[in-house]
Structure 1
Amino acid sequence: MTPLTQAQAAARAATEADAALAGLFQTQYAAMVRLAVLLGADDAEDIVAEAFYQLYRRWKKLRGADAAVPYLRSVVCNLTRMRLRHLQVVRKHSTPDAAPQAGSSAEAEALLHDDQRALVAALKELPARQREALVLRHWLGLREAEIAEAMGISAGAVKSHTSRGMAALTRVLEERR
């Protein structure tokens, strides 16, 4: 056996990275789309595609393959937050006769049952940080430290956002009954 040349080693590493990313895409795509939808994104598929692209670009800089999912989750949260801010600015500065933009795709809404629709509608009424904390905690089952990392805030702030979000969500859902 001859030792691998530097070019061969780089090619092998690139092939392994591509295979790892392809596997990650197959296992995490649907979960990331659900996360983006629950966070209020109207273009969840585009956000997740951008998140995977950013993961691909930064793959070599990750601490390891096990850091890929938390990084991806964080990127989806950040991209969704940025998209929602952008839409707020657009709506604020749009003319009154402009057509309103849909909150989510018809396909995403059709897949939800009535009780899920009420819950998603109640989630959309929450402030963004509370919504993010609740979705990451209760739909993805993340621990406080993981949520803090994904949202870029402290664990104490995660507790505060989760608690306030649950209280507000409870109030909204009780009012609908």
Structure 2
Amino acid sequence: MTAVLPAGAGVRGDFGEFVRAALPGLLRYGHALTGNPHDAADLVQSVLEKVGSRWSAVLRKDVDPLAYTRRAMANTHISVWRRLRRERLVADLPDVGVESTDRLEHEPLWQALRDLPPRQRAVVVLRFYEGLSEQEIADSLGISPGTVKSQNSKAMASLRRKLGEGG
């Protein structure tokens, strides 16, 4: 299959073809989850390594491989986020700050989106950036449609509050 995958479409067969078709969307999703393209590429690579090593098992399951991969990305990102959010004390402060090259870093909407908890951010990204339905989001993240609705509602309230303060 060489066509671009529509949202929620599955690919049965060759893992390489799946990656070629799904990679742009997975990188966009990863960027929205992580907040920068470099971490997004790392996230996508690590998840695709895991999915690729279990590709035949993924195909035997009655799941959409794209939804399975998105769910794995969300779960992996949440695990990494939990592990890295712990405070790390250092003896000396660095002399030079790190410059960011992400062009969206100073956009108010992007900053507000990054401040959302990982699951809320994933729901918002899949709904409004990838255009998935509530059921497709629920399938991708392994949660109920009701949880998708509540997470979206909380996220939108938070975004409105944060963006209303600045505007």
Q: TM-score, normalised by structure 2?
A: 0.77
- Report how many residues are paired: 152
Match of 2:47 in 1: 51
Match of 2:88 in 1: 93
Change in CA separation of 1:78 and 1:119 when aligned onto 2, cut-off 3 Å: same
Match of 2:7 in 1: none
Q: What CA deviation, in whole Å up to 9, does each residue of 1:46-65 have, x standing for no partner?
A: 11011111111111112469
Q: Using the TM superposition, give the Cα deviation of residue 78 of structure 1 relative to its aligned residue in structure 2, in angstroms.
A: 1.1
Q: Which has the higher helix share?
A: 1
Q: Using the TM superposition, give the Cα deviation of residue 97 of structure 1 relative to its aligned residue in structure 2, in angstroms.
A: 3.3
CA-atom RMSD, angstroms? 2.8
Q: Which of the residues 158, 161, 167 maps onto 2:157?
A: 167
Change in CA separation of 1:94 and 1:27 when aligned onto 2, cut-off 3 Å: farther
Contact kept? 1:41, 1:83, Cα under 8 Å? no
**1:76, 1:60 → 2: CA distance?**
19
Match of 2:58 in 1: 62
Q: Using the TM superposition, give the Cα deviation of residue 41 of structure 1 relative to its aligned residue in structure 2, in angstroms.
A: 5.0
Q: Which of the residues 117, 123, 132 maps onto 1:127?
A: 117
Q: Using the TM superposition, give the Cα deviation of residue 66 of structure 1 relative to its aligned residue in structure 2, in angstroms.
A: 7.2
The DSSP-based 3-state class of the residue aligned with 2:34 is coil
**1:26, 1:66 → 2: CA distance?**
19
Greater Rg by CA: 1
Contact kept? 2:105, 2:111, Cα under 8 Å? no
Contact kept? 1:33, 1:45, Cα under 8 Å? yes
**1:36, 1:98 → 2: CA distance?**
30
Among the aligned pairs, what percent are the same residue? 31
Is 1:79 matched up with 2:72? no
Q: What CA deviation, in whole Å up to 9, does each residue of 1:25-51 have, x standing for no partner?
A: 222222212211211255111110111
Match of 1:40 in 2: 34
Higher mean C-alpha displacement, 69-78 vs 33-42:
33-42
Unmatched 5+ stretches in structure 2: 1-11
**1:101, 1:21 → 2: CA distance?**
41
The DSSP-based 3-state class of the residue aligned with 2:64 is helix
Q: Using the TM superposition, give the Cα deviation of residue 93 of structure 1 relative to its aligned residue in structure 2, in angstroms.
A: 3.2
